[in-house]
């Protein structure tokens, strides 16, 4: 049992590392979403100067801004959950260490209260695992939603390119902006793909 518990805790410490990596991935997506938001704000201002010719572009860059805001909100939610996961996973490591030591004490001496203490820690551990499982599946839903939103984002970015082409000879700056949009959104997709994989564990 002692060995079993210690083998478990080495699994948990890998889990902890995985959750920490996950948090880094989320931060990266949130950062890119922030870049899109800034770009969208600038592009909207720029397009407004073009007047009627660039109206379509204004609408689309506003949509991109909304998309990036949505993505950031999703990443914030994911970030909060992953912070919870990290703290629960570190608590789990502590719990398993204690359980291991109590179990070892019980190998030499059997005592009712020692068994009760072990039982209580085991119950706590099960509750903890349930809680972590719930957070984990909530995170999977968030990432799936973010992925869908991002696919939609690629469509908007492509439309922005078309709209930039319609802005006439003065549209070079808008074309630059729309290319940037595509690049950023395309960079996010593999990040989200990685998050999806990481959450599958």
Place of tokens 């469509």: 155
Residue length, the chain? 201
Site membership for other proteins, residue 4 (CB under 8 A):
no
Instruction: Provide the token pair at 31.
Output: 């950062």
Instruction: Provide the token pair at 196.
Output: 């999806």
- For the CB of residue 125, give the shortest distance to other proteins in the complex, in Å: 13
Residue 131: exposure state from Cβ atoms within 10 A (0-12, 13-18, ≥19): middle
Q: Closer to other proteins by CB, 107 or 200: give it.
A: 107
Q: Closer to other proteins by CB, 70 or 117: give it.
A: 117
Stretch that binds other proteins, among 16-24, 48-56, 81-89, 105-113 (CB under 8 A): 105-113
Stretch that binds other proteins, among 75-83, 96-104, 169-177, 179-187 (CB under 8 A): 96-104
Query: Mask: binding to other proteins, 112-131, rule CB under 8 A, as x and -?
Result: -xx--x--xx----------
In angstroms, the Cα distances linking 168 to 15, 27, 51, 164 are 54, 38, 12, 8
Residue selected from 105, 128, 149, 198 as contacting other proteins according to rule CB under 8 A: 105
* H-only helix segments in the chain: 2-50, 55-108, 112-165, 172-200
- For the CB of residue 150, give the shortest distance to other proteins in the complex, in Å: 43
Stretch that binds other proteins, among 9-17, 45-53, 67-75, 100-108 (CB under 8 A): 100-108
Q: Closer to other proteins by CB, 120 or 197: give it.
A: 120
Q: Is 57 left (phi over 0), alpha (psi -120 to 50) or beta?
A: alpha
Residues that bind other proteins in the complex, under the rule CB under 8 A = 97-98, 101-102, 104-105, 107-109, 111, 113-114, 117, 120-121
């Amino acid at each position: 049992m002692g060995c079993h518990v210690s083998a478990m805790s080495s699994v948990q410490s890998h889990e902890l590392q995985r959750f920490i990596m996950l948090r880094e991935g989320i931060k990266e997506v949130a950062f890119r979403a922030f870049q899109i938001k800034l770009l969208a704000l600038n592009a909207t201002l720029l397009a407004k100067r073009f007047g009627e010719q660039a109206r379509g572009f204004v609408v689309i860059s506003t949509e991109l801004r909304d998309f990036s805001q949505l993505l950031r909100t999703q990443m914030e939610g994911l970030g909060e959950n992953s912070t919870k996961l990290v703290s629960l996973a570190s608590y789990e490591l502590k719990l398993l260490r204690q359980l291991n030591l109590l179990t070892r004490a019980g190998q030499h001496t059997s005592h009712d209260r020692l068994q009760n203490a072990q039982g209580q820690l085991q119950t706590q551990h099960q509750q903890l695992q349930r809680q972590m499982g719930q957070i984990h599946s909530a995170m999977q839903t968030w990432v799936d939603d973010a992925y869908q939103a991002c696919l939609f984002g690629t469509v908007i970015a492509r439309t922005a390119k078309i709209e930039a082409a319609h802005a006439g000879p003065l549209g070079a700056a808008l074309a630059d902006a729309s290319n940037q949009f595509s690049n950023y959104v395309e960079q996010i997709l593999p990040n989200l793909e990685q998050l999806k994989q990481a959450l599958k564990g």
